Chain A
């Protein structure tokens, strides 16, 4: 079973994402900020990361840069979840190693198609 790490500072968003990912057959882990996500990755690398941009302690981009430096950190596919206010940052995220991005609010169809595009399912 593939694993999905959901990184978002909102419990509600994490819950929504978890439902969708579980429906798609992923085993889910949650982290509320970049720091926690790093810790989780250090223990076990997930197959995919659904990553929020704007979070306390450690932002999405900081985590991404950190992740790609880690051993085995190139394995996870990273899907950035943004809102229109973050549009300007998408390019930066892609450069830092994100595989895809989706807009909030997302639904199961969008996630499923993105996951398909990056070859997860």
Chain B
């Protein structure tokens, strides 16, 4: 009887899936008699079949649920949401039992009497005045419940209930509020839902029409064999292309055709309507709206759109997750919606359709859209971008951040979402099958997710390209267009700061050269045969750009040649290469050669993804949230008078500008220029730069600090941007220089930006109040200026916690030069994580004003944790009142230093450290 059981499981699961959907429809159209009959029959069939297989527990649940459904069908019990919930409960119980049977082959032991009692109470309730499902501990007499266990006791049950139960039920009914009115959706969506469901209600399920059940493995094998056949066909066609006159011509043409049809046919056997993946959604949305007290309509369009069952399986979970998200986060509660002038009932629209070999699925809701400000805040909190980068991003680009790992905007964790599995998982899953996901959101209006996935995973259409003599396949799904470039025409590849770009219709398209990316040329060879290569390059002046899109990020891949598009069979990457994100697989071409399939997602990742598209400037401003002074940092090299080139951390430079010398004005002996509606002081590093020439243009490095204040450093020439370790060899001997380091093989002055900022604008930190600091210093008379700089030969470890990237960047080189090893973090939360990891520091310098957790709280936490209990802490603040200072001392800071008082900071640090040493001894 084993095959009967498996048949039964398959059949029952199909029925249950239909039931889920039908019940949701029923709730909306409680008077649909056909629907009622169908639901009743499905349950009836389940029950009827159970009897043959000896599944008494299942049979009993189905039986009692059927009884209730029978009353709905006969019209003597009104369908209310409470009742439907109860039926759902019984379906869930049945599903649970079925799952166990599927696994173990026999029915699990268990007690369903609570559920059965509830079902019976509804069944026995007075139909003329339907009561909501009574509470669990209803006073229905025990005998009724027990008798109901008997298979044929339905009739008796009813009599018993009438004898004992009815008075109670009637009282209940009288006391309880009238049942909630059946939700009447707005006419338009209702009509839509109906139209969509119509075929399902009248027609028989597709599976039962002249169908044959085939094991999935058989289909998979068939697909593999057809794939091989396609490859062989391609090889034959390739041979034929070379020998134009051949006897094989006609039969090969025929073979070609047949193979194509066969491929199509086998693909079709694997196709399933996307509706299968959606079957559970109405139920989920219904439960969600009940739980959250929202009103949500789910409209599903294009249910019959077919796609490969493998793809279907893979997108099922992401889809469910996203629809859930839309319901949970997107749609507002009725009151909010009403206040916003929207209909109380929110609508989630699912749509699926074919578009050029792909399936497009959109999930649209008319809810509140994504909270842009919150996302921005979160981006900053997580250190995913700097405020400057953020300012340059479009709304679309900012929204894409929700697909990053560890990103969730849900304020509270509901039982539904916000449990840590976020959109990043969705994106990963979709990208895994070669798809892409995009998001469009208008705050207050709603969001639309657009998923683009290939029809099938086994055979894809790909563009074959070549770079440095190697061929590669790029899946067509990512390819937007092809552009031919030529050195001799306007269509040429330009370089901005060493990065290749292309002007495509007035837009700068970031480029990546496949040759460079994959390092297809061996550098040593390039040196030796430079002349040869140069000649070769000249010959190959025409390069092609494959414009590729990943999500909303568009970039170009530079290749040497573009061949044809070909239907390729995707072979998975061998496990040894699986870590290489640049490739998604390999394939065999018609000529028998094996080539790699490029993964546009991987290439985008390798080139820096969103950052790259923001702006050429932004690319170079990647913030390193957790950088030690030992790390490489980006430096801007320039000439600013004097012999040695100068360097400044690029992250401090806000902009590079050219300033017209004739526009320079003077006030109070200070050169100024009007810049962005404000007066910006101008400085030079060396007297040899004359600001009074009155003609020509000079490059200026613009530094920004808080409060929109900026300062311009006029220089002679900007040399380059480089990434280097700053290893100051000789300490600075004049103000304005931190010291000399070897950068790019040359002795270079590392500029102390802080000095210039301060000297350019005496009241730069006016708001931040110098007074309290003075008093702070007075309170610490033992503070000695400048002493003990670099006292230790072994590097002291300093942890610097400050939410402002500006100060982090400014203080890091300063402290580094002073001989400290600096670790910077932008939030106390991260610092505490480091503490837990067991990292140790000699001293902690912390800002006070920080979001999430301020410096006081941080100090309290640090002092409470054993690891860092003894680590001295220095508070860094831009404005402090005596109360603040008191509080700082109370929570455990040993010193309070003004943010901009660098000398005091250094002396305080060395002093604190020596105190600590003394204390230890």
Could you list which residues of chain A lie within 8 angstroms of chain B, going by C-beta atoms?
9-13, 15-16, 32-33, 54-57, 83-85, 104-105
Chain B: CB-nearest residue to A106:
B52
Q: Are A16 and B41 in contact (CB under 8 A)?
A: no
In the complex, per-residue mask of B47-58: 1 if CB is within 8 Å of any chain A CB, else 0:
111011100000
Known interface pairs A84-B152, A85-B44; A105-B208 also in contact (CB < 8 Å): no
**Which B177-229 residues sit within 8 Å CB-CB of chain A?**
204, 208
Question: Any chain A CB within 8 A of the CB of B264?
Answer: no
Given A12-B4, A12-B8, A12-B52, 11 new contacts (CB under 8 A) = A15-B7, A32-B208, A33-B204, A55-B41, A83-B44, A83-B47, A85-B44, A85-B66, A85-B67, A85-B70, A105-B52
**Which B802-837 residues sit within 8 Å CB-CB of chain A?**
none
Chain A: CB-nearest residue to B67:
A85
Q: Are A104 and B7 in contact (CB under 8 A)?
A: no
Residues of chain B within 8 A (CB-CB) of A57 are: 204
Question: Any chain A CB within 8 A of the CB of B731?
Answer: no
Chain B: CB-nearest residue to A33:
B204
B32 to chain A, nearest CB (A): 15
Known interface pairs A84-B151, A105-B52; A10-B45 also in contact (CB < 8 Å): yes
Question: Any chain A CB within 8 A of the CB of B287?
Answer: no
Q: Are B38 and A54 in contact (CB under 8 A)?
A: no
Alpha-carbon distance between A19 and B67 when the two chains are bound, in angstroms: 30
Residues of chain B within 8 A (CB-CB) of A83 are: 44, 47-48, 51
Q: Are A54 and B52 in contact (CB under 8 A)?
A: no
Question: Any chain A CB within 8 A of the CB of B291?
Answer: no
Known interface pairs A55-B41, A57-B204; A11-B48 also in contact (CB < 8 Å): no
Chain B: CB-nearest residue to A32:
B208
Q: Are A9 and B41 in contact (CB under 8 A)?
A: yes
9 closest cross-chain pairs (CB), A and B: A105-B51, A105-B52, A12-B8, A12-B49, A10-B45, A104-B48, A16-B52, A10-B49, A54-B41
Question: Any chain A CB within 8 A of the CB of B154?
Answer: yes
Chain A: CB-nearest residue to B15:
A10
Q: Are B7 and A11 in contact (CB under 8 A)?
A: yes
Q: Are B44 and A11 in contact (CB under 8 A)?
A: no
Residues of chain A within 8 A (CB-CB) of B151 are: 84
Alpha-carbon distance between A54 and B51 when the two chains are bound, in angstroms: 16
Chain B: CB-nearest residue to A35:
B204
**Which B109-160 residues sit within 8 Å CB-CB of chain A?**
151-152, 154
Alpha-carbon distance between A110 and B333 when the two chains are bound, in angstroms: 59
Of B7, B38, B48, most A-chain CB atoms within 10 Å: B48
**Could you list 9 examples of A-B contacts with CB < 8 Å?**
A13-B45, A13-B49, A13-B52, A15-B4, A54-B45, A55-B41, A83-B44, A84-B151, A104-B51
Residues of chain A within 8 A (CB-CB) of B152 are: 84
Alpha-carbon distance between A76 and B881 when the two chains are bound, in angstroms: 103
B518 to chain A, nearest CB (A): 55
Question: Any chain A CB within 8 A of the CB of B780?
Answer: no
Alpha-carbon distance between A111 and B240 when the two chains are bound, in angstroms: 67
Alpha-carbon distance between A104 and B66 when the two chains are bound, in angstroms: 15
Question: Any chain A CB within 8 A of the CB of B313?
Answer: no
Chain B: CB-nearest residue to A105:
B51
Q: Which of A10, A32, A33 contacts B48, CB < 8 Å?
A: A10
Chain B, interface residues (CB within 8 Å), range: 20 to 34
Known interface pairs A12-B11, A15-B4, A84-B152; A56-B41 also in contact (CB < 8 Å): yes
Q: Are A104 and B52 in contact (CB under 8 A)?
A: yes
Q: Are A84 and B7 in contact (CB under 8 A)?
A: no
Chain A: CB-nearest residue to B151:
A84
B160 to chain A, nearest CB (A): 17
Alpha-carbon distance between A9 and B8 when the two chains are bound, in angstroms: 12
A119 to chain B, nearest CB (A): 26
Alpha-carbon distance between A9 and B171 when the two chains are bound, in angstroms: 42
A74 to chain B, nearest CB (A): 28
Chain B: CB-nearest residue to A86:
B44
Alpha-carbon distance between A92 and B510 when the two chains are bound, in angstroms: 79
Chain A: CB-nearest residue to B202:
A57
Could you list which residues of chain B lie within 8 angstroms of chain A, going by C-beta atoms?
4, 7-8, 11, 38, 40-41, 44-45, 47-49, 51-53, 66-67, 70, 151-152, 154, 204, 208
Q: How many A-B residue pairs have CB under 8 A?
A: 53
Alpha-carbon distance between A16 and B70 when the two chains are bound, in angstroms: 26
Alpha-carbon distance between A54 and B41 when the two chains are bound, in angstroms: 7
Residues of chain B within 8 A (CB-CB) of A84 are: 151-152, 154
Q: Are B51 and A10 in contact (CB under 8 A)?
A: no
Chain A: CB-nearest residue to B50:
A105
Chain A: CB-nearest residue to B9:
A12
B251 to chain A, nearest CB (A): 42
Residues of chain B within 8 A (CB-CB) of A11 are: 7, 11
Q: Are A54 and B204 in contact (CB under 8 A)?
A: no
Residues of chain B within 8 A (CB-CB) of A9 are: 41, 45
Q: Are A16 and B4 in contact (CB under 8 A)?
A: yes
A95 to chain B, nearest CB (A): 21
B118 to chain A, nearest CB (A): 20
Chain A: CB-nearest residue to B51:
A105
Residues of chain B within 8 A (CB-CB) of A54 are: 40-41, 44-45
Alpha-carbon distance between A55 and B204 when the two chains are bound, in angstroms: 11
A10 to chain B, nearest CB (A): 5
A2 to chain B, nearest CB (A): 23
Residues of chain A within 8 A (CB-CB) of B38 are: 56
Residues of chain A within 8 A (CB-CB) of B4 are: 12, 15-16
Alpha-carbon distance between A27 and B123 when the two chains are bound, in angstroms: 43
Alpha-carbon distance between A10 and B62 when the two chains are bound, in angstroms: 15
Known interface pairs A33-B204, A56-B204, A57-B204; A10-B47 also in contact (CB < 8 Å): no
Residues of chain B within 8 A (CB-CB) of A10 are: 11, 45, 48-49
A105 to chain B, nearest CB (A): 3
B93 to chain A, nearest CB (A): 20
Residues of chain A within 8 A (CB-CB) of B154 are: 84-85
A13 to chain B, nearest CB (A): 6
Q: Which of B7, B40, B44, B208 contacts A12, CB < 8 Å?
A: B7
Of B7, B45, B154, most A-chain CB atoms within 10 Å: B45
Alpha-carbon distance between A77 and B48 when the two chains are bound, in angstroms: 23
Alpha-carbon distance between A18 and B623 when the two chains are bound, in angstroms: 73
Chain A: CB-nearest residue to B53:
A12
A63 to chain B, nearest CB (A): 15
B5 to chain A, nearest CB (A): 9
Alpha-carbon distance between A33 and B203 when the two chains are bound, in angstroms: 12
Alpha-carbon distance between A10 and B67 when the two chains are bound, in angstroms: 20
A67 to chain B, nearest CB (A): 20
Chain A: CB-nearest residue to B3:
A15
Alpha-carbon distance between A106 and B188 when the two chains are bound, in angstroms: 49
Chain A: CB-nearest residue to B14:
A11
Alpha-carbon distance between A54 and B70 when the two chains are bound, in angstroms: 12
A110 to chain B, nearest CB (A): 12
Alpha-carbon distance between A84 and B8 when the two chains are bound, in angstroms: 21
Alpha-carbon distance between A112 and B52 when the two chains are bound, in angstroms: 16
Residues of chain A within 8 A (CB-CB) of B11 are: 10-12
B59 to chain A, nearest CB (A): 9
Alpha-carbon distance between A56 and B47 when the two chains are bound, in angstroms: 16
A57 to chain B, nearest CB (A): 6
Residues of chain A within 8 A (CB-CB) of B51 are: 83, 104-105
Residues of chain A within 8 A (CB-CB) of B70 are: 85
Chain B: CB-nearest residue to A17:
B52
A36 to chain B, nearest CB (A): 9
Chain A: CB-nearest residue to B213:
A11
Alpha-carbon distance between A16 and B7 when the two chains are bound, in angstroms: 11
Residues of chain B within 8 A (CB-CB) of A13 are: 45, 48-49, 52
B558 to chain A, nearest CB (A): 59
Residues of chain A within 8 A (CB-CB) of B44 are: 54, 83, 85
Alpha-carbon distance between A54 and B40 when the two chains are bound, in angstroms: 9
Residues of chain A within 8 A (CB-CB) of B49 are: 10, 12-13
Residues of chain A within 8 A (CB-CB) of B204 are: 32-33, 56-57
Alpha-carbon distance between A9 and B46 when the two chains are bound, in angstroms: 11
Alpha-carbon distance between A33 and B205 when the two chains are bound, in angstroms: 12
A32 to chain B, nearest CB (A): 6
Alpha-carbon distance between A56 and B45 when the two chains are bound, in angstroms: 11
Alpha-carbon distance between A107 and B180 when the two chains are bound, in angstroms: 46
